[in-house]
Structure 1
Amino acid sequence: MPGSRHKILSHVFSGFSEKMGRTKVLDIGPQAETPLKRCLTTFDITLLGIGHMVGAGIYVLIGTVAKEIAGPAIILSFMLAGAASMLAALCYAEFGTRIPKAGSAYVYTYVSVGEFWAFVIGWNIILEHMIGAASVARAWSGFFDSMFDNVIRNTTVSMLGELHETLLGKYPDVFAFFICLIHACILGVGVKTSSYMNSFLTLVNLSVIVVIIGAGYYYGNSDNWSSYGGFMPFKIKGVIMGAATCFYAYVGFDSIATSGEEAKDPAYSIPVATIIAMSVVCTGYVLVSGALTFLVPYWSIHPDAAFPAAFAGLDLHWIKYLVSVGALCGMTTTLLGSLYSLPRCIYAMADDGLIFKFLAKVNKKTQVPLINLAISAFMCALIALLFDLEKLVEFMSIGTLLAYTIVSASVVILRYQPTNRGLVRDSSSLLEIPTSQADSFEMDMGGRLKPSYKCIDWIFGDLEAGTAVCMAMACFTNSTIILCVYIQYWFNIDNINWVDIVVITLLAIDLVGCIILIEAHEQNSTELPFMVPHVPLIPALSIVCNIVLMTNLNLLTWIRFLIWMVIGILIYFLYGIHHSKENDVTSYSVLLSSSEAGKTWGAINKSKQKRQKTEDDRKPIIDNEELPENGYYH
C-alpha cells in the first residue's frame, strides 16, 4: 500500500512538473488571426508609449526623488534608470517583432521559459498596470486639487473622515476613484478613437515640457547645484536608490509591446516605436529633472506640485498655469496607457486558460475586451481610493523589474534554441514541410557548440541543443542575485576583508564564465526585422541592472510582493494549470495517428538520407593523394 501511494504521488508531481515547464506554441505571422482590431500605425504606437511614460513621473515623482533621495544628482538617477530600461526595451523590441501578440512579457516568457514562469510574469504585469493606473489616478486627483487649494480633499475628509491604518492613504480619494472609471469609459469606445485622444494630449504635453526645460535653465541659478550639500548631497547611495524609484517613470514602454495584435505592421512598428519612445522620454526626464534642481534648491522643492510651486515662487504665474495644463494632459495619457495595457494582459492570460476564461471575451462591435476592462478599471479605482501614492510606486517597481529580468533572459534562451522551436502550434503544418525546409530545419545549429569550442564538448554529454545555454543563463541570474544581495547587506567598502575578496572574486569569475559558455554556442539562423545587438552581453547587462535596482527596494515592499505572489500561485495551481489551453495541444499531439507521424518523419528522414549521400560523395581525401583545389571530390 505505501508503495502504491508513493507511485501515485510520484506520478502526480511528475505531471505537475511537466505542465509547469511546458512552453506555448504559436501559429504566428505578421498578420496572425486576432479578435482585436489591427488599426494602429507606428506613429500611434510611439505616442502611446511616450504618453504612458511621460506623466506622473515628470510632474510628481521628480519632486519627491529630488528633495528626499538624490538632490540635483537626480539627473544621474534618471540616466541610470533610463539605461537599465533601454536595455530591457531592446529585448522587448526583439520579442515584439518575433511574437506580435497581446500580453507582452507574459507571452514572451510562455514561449521561451515555460508556463509557470509565464504565469508569474503575467501576474506581476497585472500588478504593475493596476498599481500604475491607481498611482496616476491618485496623482491626477492631487494635482488637480492643488490648483484649487485642496477643496476636494478638505470636503472629502469633512464628509468621510480620515483613514488611520498604516498601509492606507491619509483619506479615501473618491475623486481618484471616479477618474479611473471615466478613463476606462473612454477606452471602451474603441482603440482607434482613444488613440486619437492619446496622440493629441501627448503632443500638448511634449510642447509644455519643452517650455519647462527652456524656462528652467533660463531662470535657474548654478548655485543651486554647488551649494546646500553640492550636486550629490545624498552620495552615490542616493543616486542608486533614486534610480530604483525613477525606474517607475519608464515602465510604460511595455504598452508598445502589448499593442502587438492591434498594430498594422507589428514587425516594423514595435521596435521602431520602442527605440524612439525610450530615446525621447529618457532625454526629456534628464533635461526636466536638471531644470527643476537648477531652478530652485532641492531642499525647497514642493513634492506634490514641484514645477507649479517653483515657477510661482519666481512670480512666473503664466508658466505655472501652463505646467498645470501639461501635467493633466500627461497624467491622462499615462492613465490611458495603463488602462489600455492591463486588459490586454488579462485577455492574453484568460485566452490561454491560466485565469478565468470569461475575461477573454471580446466585444464584437468595439473589438475591445469590455468585461475585462470594466473589472480591471474597478479594481484600479478601488486601489486609488484607499492607498497612498508613495506606497503604490514602490510596490509597482518590484514586479516590473522581475518581468524585465526574465524577458532579458528569454531573449538569450530563444536565440540559442533550434530555429522555430516552440513557435508553430498546428502539428499538421509539419506534415506539409517541403524537403528543402525540412533539410534546413535539420541543419540548423542553434544551441550547439561552435567548432572552435569542441574541446569542451565532453562537459555537456548528450544534452539537447540549447539546454546548456539555459543552464548557464539560470546560473548567471542566480549568481547575480547572490552578488547583489551580498554587496547590499554584508559588504562594507570602508572595511574590506579577505572573505569579501574571495566571495566577490568567485562570483565575478562565475558570471564571466557563464557569458563565455553561452558565447561558445551557435545562435540559430532566424532572421528578424529587429534583433538585439551583442547578445548575450546586452541582455546580461539588463539582468544585472534590474537585480541591482531590485535589491535597493525596502523590505516591506518585498513582503507585500510575496503576499501578492502567494495569491497568484494559489490561482495557478487551483485553476490555471488544469484549464490551460496547452492541455488541449498536448492531447492533440498524443492523438496524432501513427500514419501521419510516419509521413512527417518519413519526409524528414528522407531529406536527411539525401543530405548524408551528398556529404558522402563530397567526402574529404585523407590519404596521401593530392587534394583537389577545394579539398573535395565531386
Structure 2
Amino acid sequence: MARGLPSAASLARLCQKLNRLKPLEESTMETSLSRCLSTLDLTLLGVGGMVGSGLYVLTGTVAKDMAGPAVLLSFAVAAVASLLAALCYAEFGARVPRTGSAYLFTYVSMGELWAFLIGWNVLLEYLIGGAAVARAWSGYLDAMFSHSIRNFTETHVGVWQVPFLAHYPDFLAAGILLLASAFVSCGARVSSWLNHTFSAISLMVILFIVILGFILARPRNWSAEEGGFAPFGFSGIMAGTATCFYAFVGFDVIAASSEEAQNPRRAVPIAIAISLSLAASAYILVSTVLTLMVPWHSLDPDSALADAFYRRGYSWAGFIVAAGSICAMNTVLLSNLFSLPRIVYAMAADGLFFQVFARVHSRTQVPVVGILVFGVLMALLALLLDLEALVQFLSIGTLLAYTFVAASIIVLRFQKTSPPSSPGPASPGPLGKQHDSFSDHIQLVEAAQASVAEPGHLRPALKPYLGFLGGCGPGAAVTWALGFLVASAIILDCVVVFGDSALSLPRWGYFLLLLLSGTVFLLSLLVLGVHQQQHRQDTFQIPLVPLTPALSILLNICLMLKLSYLTWLRFSIWLLIGLVVYFGYGIRHSKENQRELPGPITTRYVVFPSSSLEESVQPVQPPGQAPAHEPGCTE
C-alpha cells in the first residue's frame, strides 16, 4: 500500500500540471508587437480570411455533390453557427487583447493541455488551409491560360501516381506562398495595405457577380425537372453545412490580431460583426445566383462561377470572375500567413512550443522566424500533396476550437474575479505597513459580500428556493452543470444525426433517449442560469449567457458528427502527434511550470474579498516564484 502512495501523488501532480491555467492579465496593453491596426484593418483582415477559395471553389462543390440549390441554406446555417462562435471570440478578444485566439482563450479558462491541443489543431488548420488555397489560386490562374501551366509541368516533370501526393508538383502555388511570406514578414502595416487592395477588388467583383447573375437567372433551374431545390434533403443540407464551415474560419484572424489592434476592446467586436455579416451575405447571394444561372448538377466543381458565365456566353465575365478569385485567394493567403505565426508565437512565448518562434524582429515587430518557417512548410504542402481529401479536415479542427471557446466563455463568466497579481497604487504595501488600515479592509470586504454575490455562487434571491445548490462549494455546481451540458449535447446530437436506424434502437428507445438528453441539457442550462455571473461595463459581453454559448456547443458538435470517419481518423492521428510534442517538450518548458519551480521566496500580502478571514489576507508572490506555505497549511 505504501508503494502506491508516491505514484498516486505523482499522478495528482501530473493532473494538476495538465490543468494549470494561464493568469488572466486584462489590464496590460504592453506588447513586443506593434499596435498599428485600426477597426477597418481588422474588418478587412476578417473579410479577406473568409471570402476566398470558399466562394469560388467550395460553392460549386457543395452544390453539385451535397446540397444542390439548397447550398444557400447550408451557408446560412454555417453562418449562424459561426455567429454564435464569433460572439464568444469577440468577448474574449476584447477582454484579453493578446495574440493566440482560441489557444489563449482555452489556456486562461480550461487548462494547459487543452489549450495546447487547440493551438496544435489551429496550427494544422492554417497550414492545410493556406496550401489548399494556394493550389486553388494556381488552378484558377492556369484555367485562364487554358491549362498551359499544368500541361507544361506534366510534360517536363511527369505525372505522379503515388497515394497522398498530387498528380504533379505545383510550383506556382509554392511560389505564391513564398512571395506572400516575404511580404508578411515586412510588418503588419505592409500586410494590411496589401489586404486592403486585394479585398477592395474582391468585393467589387462579388458585387458584379451578384448583379449580372440575377440578370441571367433562370428560376426553372430550381424546379422539379432539374432535381428540385433540395435534391439531397435535410441530410444533404447539414452535410453541406459541415463542409461550408470551412468558408467562415477566417474571422478568428481578428481575435489572433487583437494584440496589434490600436483599441482592441472596441475594434475586435465591431470588426468580427461586420466582417462575418459581409462574408455571409456574399456566400448566400453568390450561391443563389450560381444555381439560378445553370443547373446545379452540371456545375464544374473546380471553377464553378467562371464556367457558369462561359456557358451563358459571357466569356469576358468569366475572366473578371477569375481575376476576382485570384485577388480573393490572395487575401486568404495573407490572412493565413498573418495568423499562423502569431498563434505559434503565443504558444512559444508561453513555453509550450519551441522558443525560437517567440522571437520578434526588432524593426518590423513581427515573429519573422515563424512566418518564414511555416511559410516554407505551407509551400512544401502545396507543392507536393494532394489536398482535396484533406479539405474536410479543416472543419473538424475549427469546430473543436469553437466548442472550447464557447465552453471557456461559460467558465470565465462564472469564475471568481482573480485578485491582482501585483499591488497597484491603491494596494497595500508590505505586511508591516498594513496594520493601520487592516480593519477598514475587512469592513469593506464584508460590505461588498453583503451587497453582491460573487460569480459562481447561487443568486441571493434564489437561495430560499434552491438552497440545496447553495450547499455546494463555490463553483462546484457550475462545473458539474457544464460537464452535464456538454455530455448531454453529445448524446442529443448523436441521436439527431444518426437516428434510430443507425443506432439500432426501437422507436420508443429513440424518443426516450432524445427526451432524456434534451431534458438534461435544459436542466444544465437552468442550473447555470441561477448562478451569479461577472457583469462588466468596460468590455463587450455577449448576450444571453449561458444560452448563446450552449447553442454554439450544441451546433458545433452536431456539425462535427456529420464529418466522415476518415476525417476523424486523421484528426486522431494528428492529436497523438501533438501529445508527443506536448509531453516531450511543452510540459517541461511551460512558463507556468517555471513559476512552480522552487526558488527564493519573497512574500507580500494583499487583501481582497473572500468568504473567510483566512482567505481575505493571502500571500502573493512575484511572477516566477513558488507559493509560500505557512507552517500548518495544506496545499
> How big is the shift at 1:426?
4.2
Looking at structure 1, the residues matched to 447 and 328 of structure 2 have their Cα atoms a distance apart, in angstroms, of 50
Letter in 2 for 1:59: Y
Over 3 Å counting, the alpha-carbon distance change for 1:602 and 1:99 in structure 2 is closer
Q: Does 1:186 align with 2:195?
A: no
Q: Does 1:489 align with 2:488?
A: no
Letter in 2 for 1:3: A
Looking at structure 2, the residues matched to 145 and 308 of structure 1 have their Cα atoms a distance apart, in angstroms, of 13
In percent, how many aligned pairs have the same letter? Answer: 42
Letter in 2 for 1:246: C
> How big is the shift at 1:158?
2.5
> Which of the numbers 376, 379, 387 marks the counterpart of 1:378?
376
Q: Does 1:581 align with 2:594?
A: no
> How big is the shift at 1:12?
1.9
> Which of the numbers 40, 50, 54 marks the counterpart of 1:43?
40
Looking at structure 2, the residues matched to 254 and 561 of structure 1 have their Cα atoms a distance apart, in angstroms, of 20
Which residue is 2:322 aligned to? 324
Conserved? CA contact 1:46–1:256, under 8 Å: yes
Give the paired residue count. 601
Conserved? CA contact 1:419–1:441, under 8 Å: no
Which residue is 1:279 aligned to? 277
Higher normalized helix content (fraction of residues):
1
Letter in 1 for 2:481: A
Looking at structure 1, the residues matched to 423 and 163 of structure 2 have their Cα atoms a distance apart, in angstroms, of 55
Letter in 2 for 1:137: A
Which residue is 1:348 aligned to? 346
Looking at structure 2, the residues matched to 392 and 42 of structure 1 have their Cα atoms a distance apart, in angstroms, of 33
Q: Does 1:23 align with 2:21?
A: yes
Looking at structure 2, the residues matched to 41 and 609 of structure 1 have their Cα atoms a distance apart, in angstroms, of 42
> Which of the numbers 168, 173, 192 marks the counterpart of 1:171?
168
Which residue is 1:133 aligned to? 130
Conserved? CA contact 2:221–2:294, under 8 Å: yes
Over 3 Å counting, the alpha-carbon distance change for 1:161 and 1:8 in structure 2 is farther
User: Which stretch of structure 1 is more off in the superposition, 502-511 or 444-453?
Assistant: 444-453
Which residue is 2:312 aligned to? 314
Letter in 1 for 2:557: I
Letter in 1 for 2:202: N
Give secondary structure in 1 for the equivalent of 2:227.
coil
Q: Deviations over 1:257-315 (max 9, x none)?
A: 01111000000000000000011110111001001001110011111111111111111
Looking at structure 2, the residues matched to 178 and 340 of structure 1 have their Cα atoms a distance apart, in angstroms, of 17
> How big is the shift at 1:593?
3.9
Task: Specify every segment of 5 or more residues in structure 1 that has no aligned partner in the other structure, as ranges.
Answer: 611-634
Which residue is 1:208 aligned to? 205
Q: Does 1:224 align with 2:233?
A: no
Q: Deviations over 1:187-231 (max 9, x none)?
A: 011110110110111011001100100111111100001131110
Which residue is 2:570 aligned to? 560
Describe how 1:189-588 pairs up with structure 2 within 5 A.
189-226=186-223, 227-420=225-418, 424-426=420-422, 432=428, 435=441, 444-454=453-463, 455-459=465-469, 461-464=471-474, 466-492=475-501, 497-587=507-597
Conserved? CA contact 1:444–1:524, under 8 Å: no
> How big is the shift at 1:3?
2.8
Give secondary structure in 1 for the equivalent of 2:500.
coil
Looking at structure 1, the residues matched to 156 and 38 of structure 2 have their Cα atoms a distance apart, in angstroms, of 47
Conserved? CA contact 1:97–1:528, under 8 Å: no
> How big is the shift at 1:572?
0.9
Q: Deviations over 1:65-90 (max 9, x none)?
A: 11111110001000000000011000
Letter in 2 for 1:473: L
Conserved? CA contact 2:500–2:507, under 8 Å: no
Q: Deviations over 1:448-472 (max 9, x none)?
A: 11134324333564422x2321221
Looking at structure 2, the residues matched to 303 and 59 of structure 1 have their Cα atoms a distance apart, in angstroms, of 9
Over 3 Å counting, the alpha-carbon distance change for 1:91 and 1:319 in structure 2 is same
Looking at structure 2, the residues matched to 71 and 171 of structure 1 have their Cα atoms a distance apart, in angstroms, of 31
Over 3 Å counting, the alpha-carbon distance change for 1:558 and 1:374 in structure 2 is same
Letter in 2 for 1:267: R
Give secondary structure in 2 for the equivalent of 1:186.
helix
> How big is the shift at 1:382?
1.6
Conserved? CA contact 2:181–2:372, under 8 Å: yes
User: Which stretch of structure 1 is more off in the superposition, 548-557 or 319-328?
Assistant: 319-328
Looking at structure 1, the residues matched to 228 and 454 of structure 2 have their Cα atoms a distance apart, in angstroms, of 56
Letter in 2 for 1:318: W
Over 3 Å counting, the alpha-carbon distance change for 1:391 and 1:608 in structure 2 is closer
Which residue is 1:60 aligned to? 57
Letter in 1 for 2:482: M
CA RMSD of aligned residues (A): 2.6
Over 3 Å counting, the alpha-carbon distance change for 1:314 and 1:90 in structure 2 is same
Over 3 Å counting, the alpha-carbon distance change for 1:301 and 1:437 in structure 2 is farther
Looking at structure 2, the residues matched to 82 and 303 of structure 1 have their Cα atoms a distance apart, in angstroms, of 22
Q: Deviations over 1:339-393 (max 9, x none)?
A: 1000000000000000111110001011111111111111111221233342231
Conserved? CA contact 2:403–2:552, under 8 Å: yes
Conserved? CA contact 1:439–1:608, under 8 Å: no
Looking at structure 2, the residues matched to 605 and 72 of structure 1 have their Cα atoms a distance apart, in angstroms, of 63
Conserved? CA contact 2:458–2:469, under 8 Å: no
Give secondary structure in 1 for the equivalent of 2:62.
helix
Describe how 1:587-598 pairs up with structure 2 within 5 A.
587=597, 592-593=601-602, 596-597=604-605
Give secondary structure in 1 for the equivalent of 2:107.
helix
What is the TM-score normalised by the length of structure 1? 0.90
Over 3 Å counting, the alpha-carbon distance change for 1:230 and 1:602 in structure 2 is closer
Q: Deviations over 1:430-481 (max 9, x none)?
A: 95499498678765521111134324333564422x2321221122112211
Conserved? CA contact 1:419–1:444, under 8 Å: no
Give secondary structure in 2 for the equivalent of 1:3.
coil
> How big is the shift at 1:23?
0.7
Looking at structure 1, the residues matched to 217 and 297 of structure 2 have their Cα atoms a distance apart, in angstroms, of 15
Looking at structure 1, the residues matched to 577 and 351 of structure 2 have their Cα atoms a distance apart, in angstroms, of 17
Letter in 2 for 1:242: G
Q: Does 1:83 align with 2:80?
A: yes
Q: Deviations over 1:100-147 (max 9, x none)?
A: 000001111111111111111111111111111111111111111111
Looking at structure 2, the residues matched to 366 and 460 of structure 1 have their Cα atoms a distance apart, in angstroms, of 54
Q: Deviations over 1:8-55 (max 9, x none)?
A: 3222211111011111004332x6211100000000110010011001
User: Which stretch of structure 1 is more off in the superposition, 384-393 or 93-102?
Assistant: 384-393
